[in-house]
Structure 1
Amino acid sequence: MVHHFFRGKDELFAASVELPADPAEVLAGVETLDPAVRAQAIVRAVLRLWEGPAQHGMVAFVRGTIGSKAKTALMREMVNRTILSKIMAGLPGSSEEVRVRGNLVATQVVGLMLVRYVIRLEPLASADPDDVVRWVAPNIQRYLTGDLDTPT
């Protein structure tokens, strides 16, 4: 029945929790970028989404998801299949290494969203988006393609 009414589980999830944005649209084209330069595009895509009209819906969505075990489980599945699969597409390494790298990227992106838009911790909350990209993208890039054994 899911496939009769929806294109797949991701669309069902988005409808059931009123996801304020389509991750595929937000991250369109990221998977085609060279992994060596992908981090800035990821941070810019996140900032575009959160700086836009969907911000209030995104904050409400995050707050509601964190408080619900069922929504958190659905979100985890959607993040793995829809968001991380795009971000991590084409990265070299074993599937386990790519999964670890994806999880590390997620720590930075989720942390950025929580601190900047939900908790609104200053000075990050009001920082210029270009500064945020400059500060956060190098860490994400390290998680994407850098040496995970040696801190930089």
Structure 2
Amino acid sequence: MKLFETIVLGCIVFFMGAFLVYGLIEQYPQQVLAFPFTVSALSALFALIRIVEIKLGRHPLQESESLKTVNEGDVSFINSYIFILMILPPLWLLGFELGIPLYILVFCLYFRIRWLTSLSVSLVSYAFIALVFNGILGARLPRGILLPMFV
């Protein structure tokens, strides 16, 4: 479990670093970058701190023996990490504006939430992104690599 946790945390550090570098390369306005940079930098920092704690053998929350035996082979634990990482392909391919609603739709349908509710939540998330980021903030959101081919 420690190796898997270290690998996942290493991926978080890598992707947060990549997002930070991408934001600097794209030269977005500073007011747009303030929140994502803060979140990315803090996420990377806390992940690095946790990696160091794992390597030093420190565990802030000791697990009981019964929890250790249950979690060692727990497939749902690994599935949760896979679902977190599954957001990256839609963001890369379709961009932020369409990738997030598509991810929410697939996530809801996978967990057997009614299709009408899933579609509604997905459409509300699209409307929220369009209103807040495009309308109010006037932010230039990444469009992904496939979206410019169709639009």
TM-score by length of 1: 0.31
State the structure with more CA Rg: 2
Q: Higher relative contact order by CA 8 Å / sep ≥ 6: 1 or 2?
A: 1
Q: Report the structure, 1 or 2, having the larger helix content.
A: 2
